[in-house]
Structure 1
Amino acid sequence: MLSRLSPYWLWLLLAIPAFGILSDVLTSTDPKALKHALHPSGEFAARFMIISMMATPLAMLFKGRSFPIWLKKNRRYFGVAAFAYSALHLGFYLVSRGSLEKILGQATDFDILTGWLAFLIFLPLAATSFDAAVRALGPRWKSVQRWVYAAAVLTLLHWAAKDGWEGLPPALVNFAPLALLEGYRIWYWYIRPKPARTA
């Protein structure tokens, strides 16, 4: 069934959280509505990034299963969605601060700096996520996309450090499946005993 899901329907599904977040912001009379929208937009950005990164280790772990194959085929959609939600998150942050002075004053705070760095890494990843870029870059495309691991670490730190590290428990819960799968991937390729070759 997943294999027959149109990319347009997938885009719609990925956009549903954004519709809810934007609806809350646009209809709320709470002056802090933008600030309240920061967390869900950032969390969905992180979750979609995590899902896209889980595709390859899931396909290794569950060889031949339809869902990992579908996810691996469509992971770029989740990656682009992660960038879109991170841009929405950044937009909410900039508007909620209200002035360039406040934005610059917080730029070197650890939780804010890690967010900026993660977003800067997202920019080339999103720009090279299309078929034309894949063809143009050739083998270099994978090297560019590997920067997602740095973005993931920075995103984890950005989430964990919010509100005086109160974000650490939910950040660890969300990143734990990815960490376990990447641990399996490392074990599979570098640690597990290799089968003996027959003469």
Structure 2
Amino acid sequence: MSYLRAFWNSPYTFWFILALPGLPIIGGLLREGEKLEHLLHPSGEFAARFLIVSLMITPLMFLTNGQRWVRWLLARRRYIGVAAGCYAALHLAIYLLDKGSLGPILEDLVKIGIWTGWLASLIFIPLTITSNDWSISKLGRSWKSLQKLAYPAAALVLAHWILLDFKIGPALVHFTPLILLQAYRYVHVTNKRKERKLTAHA
């Protein structure tokens, strides 16, 4: 049982799980005749999913009073965030390969759905490269402030999805749990602050 627990808790096992959705996408890139546009959506979708999961963990801690499975996820939140950044990079790489040259890429920039995606990708870069112990120790308190950029990145990803797909349903199916949990977090934190103020004045 101890070996099984060690295997399950290993970061390498978790990284393997996070990499699984990318294997068929990479396989598609390597296959001749595969249409790149068919790989765009799944790569972007998994970037969004992992970003959403990473942002859901803190409000879930409040909602569940820190149950064991949520604490397990919390300990691996940085891995999930890095996975989101990697899938976003893969999504961008597929987009660039699909366009093939600079001209079509520049033509696309007039579309709001495209530049929201570019902005989200730019935000992913510092979030991903600073998700390590060295960056945390060097940046100190600034690290948490930097990581808060994940929230505007999520808003941009939602806009990118809706404006390009023109189907609000699938996007909301993914993002509604996050929106509801963040609303709960805001109410929870606000109530706790009020309780502390009342206690201080009592």
TM-score (norm 1): 0.92
After superposition, the CA RMSD in angstroms is 1.9
Q: For the structure 1 residues 38 and 132, does the alpha-carbon distance in structure 2 shift closer, same or farther, using more than 3 Å as the test?
A: same
CA offset at residue 24 of structure 1?
Answer: 2.6
CA offset at residue 152 of structure 1?
Answer: 0.5
String of CA shifts for 1:123-149, please: whole Å, max 9, x gaps.
111121110000000011110000111
Matched residue, 1:19: 23
Amino acid of the residue matched to residue 87 of structure 2?
Y
Amino acid of the residue matched to residue 62 of structure 1?
T
Of residues 122, 126, 129, the one that matches 2:128 is 126
Contiguous gaps of at least 5 residues in structure 2: none
Amino acid of the residue matched to residue 123 of structure 1?
I
Structure 1: distance between partners of 2:68 and 2:107: 49
- 1:2–1:70 Cα contact (<8 Å) kept: no
String of CA shifts for 1:110-169, please: whole Å, max 9, x gaps.
110000000101111112111000000001111000011110000000011114x22x21
Structure 2: distance between partners of 1:14 and 1:145: 20
Of residues 10, 21, 46, the one that matches 1:6 is 10
Matched residue, 2:179: 179
- 1:59–1:69 Cα contact (<8 Å) kept: yes
Structure 1: distance between partners of 2:32 and 2:45: 20
Query: What does residue range 43-192 of structure 1 map to in structure 2 within 5 Å?
Result: 43-163=45-165, 165-166=166-167, 168-191=168-191
Structure 2: distance between partners of 1:6 and 1:40: 27
- 1:57–1:184 Cα contact (<8 Å) kept: yes
User: Number of matched residues?
Assistant: 195
Structure 2: distance between partners of 1:111 and 1:3: 42
Amino acid of the residue matched to residue 107 of structure 2?
G
Matched residue, 2:195: 194
**Aligned-residue identity in percent:** 47
TM-score (norm 2): 0.90
> Which is further off, 74-83 or 184-193?
184-193
- 2:7–2:13 Cα contact (<8 Å) kept: no
